[in-house]
Copies of this chain bind each other. A is one copy, B any other.
């Protein structure tokens, strides 16, 4: 991430809650002037208390106290949405998860913002078509859904409405990538997008296991910390499964292990046709000739995670 001070233009942040403040830290540290709008009279106080700490926490950066003080001069807070939005290159909205609020706000943004400004919602649950329902051009709405807190976790899930212009998606990808984020484009909005769907199925099963008395809460967390966690932080679940499936790879582990286990857990099996397709797709995603390098990458990362934890003192 660039350590440059505010020379890329202005980003408007709507809403100075936890997510809005974390985004504000990300954008100002990434070289933007940040204008935050929030009707709460306490918003300014919270922003100026909170942002210096958040900026200091951003991975792969090391701002001095003086740097941070200088950056904070490029942050303003106002109750006036129009004032924040006018002239901004991008708007990142973090208001209440309420369709009425968001659809009204985005019509206002469309009227006030520059014609080429990115209009992005952090919404985790409302689809772009609903957010844009009152706009002249609803296709301008994008979702840029972060993983909390945005100033620390790289993921931003991006999607648009049914008729979104691919060039607009590409512009958002570039915008976030330039900030050091890891944008992931979804071809369409689905409830929970991807990360929260995956979190949902795993946490719900974890709670059921605890509920059934097989292990307690701490033991469940320790189990993940010492197995799936380091693997999924190293290569993700599908490549991890591809490695774990022996000669059959991901398709093999689904056919021989997961489908059988799933049946006993009341989960519908993956069809034979999908297993076949999966075998093809996974070999395209991770070509056989690249697997030795990927295995080395996985093992180095896993070992680094275990080493860090073993020597951590906090």
| A residues at B contact (CB < 8 Å) | 18, 57, 59-60, 147-148, 152-155, 157, 182, 184-188, 190-192, 194-239, 241, 244, 246, 253-254, 257-258, 261-262, 264-265, 267, 270, 274, 277-278, 281-282, 285-286, 293, 296-297, 299-310, 312, 314
Contacts and interface: CB of A to CB of B under 8 A. Distances in A.
Contact of A232 (B184, B192, B233, B235): B233
Given A200-B265, A221-B237, A227 B301 contact: no
Closest 9 CB pairs of A and B: A221-B236, A229-B233, A233-B233, A147-B227, A155-B226, A229-B232, A155-B227, A217-B285, A182-B226
Q: Which of A229, A258, A274, A314 has the most CB of B within 10 A?
A: A229
A302 B254 contact: no
Contact of A221 (B188, B235, B264): B235
Assembly stoichiometry (copies): 2
Contact of A215 (B184, B201, B214): B184
Contacts of A228: 147, 195, 198-199, 232
Given A60-B307, A152-B302, A236 B229 contact: yes
22 contacts: A59-B307, A152-B303, A153-B226, A155-B223, A157-B223, A184-B219, A184-B223, A186-B214, A187-B215, A191-B265, A194-B209, A194-B215, A195-B224, A199-B237, A203-B253, A218-B286, A220-B236, A220-B237, A225-B232, A296-B314, A301-B312, A305-B305
A222 B200 contact: no
B209 A60 contact: no
A304 B73 CA distance: 29
A128 to B, nearest CB: 14
Given A59-B303, A154-B306, 8 more contacts: A153-B230, A198-B209, A199-B241, A220-B237, A223-B236, A225-B233, A229-B236, A304-B304
A141 to B, nearest CB: 18
Contacts of A197: 205, 209, 261, 265
Nearest to A57: B299
Contacts of A147: 226-228
A173 B101 CA distance: 55
Contacts of A296: 314
Contact of A258 (B190, B204, B237): B204
A60 to B, nearest CB: 5
Contacts of A224: 195, 198, 232, 236-237
Contact of A244 (B148, B184, B233, B265): B148
Contact of A267 (B204, B233, B312): B204
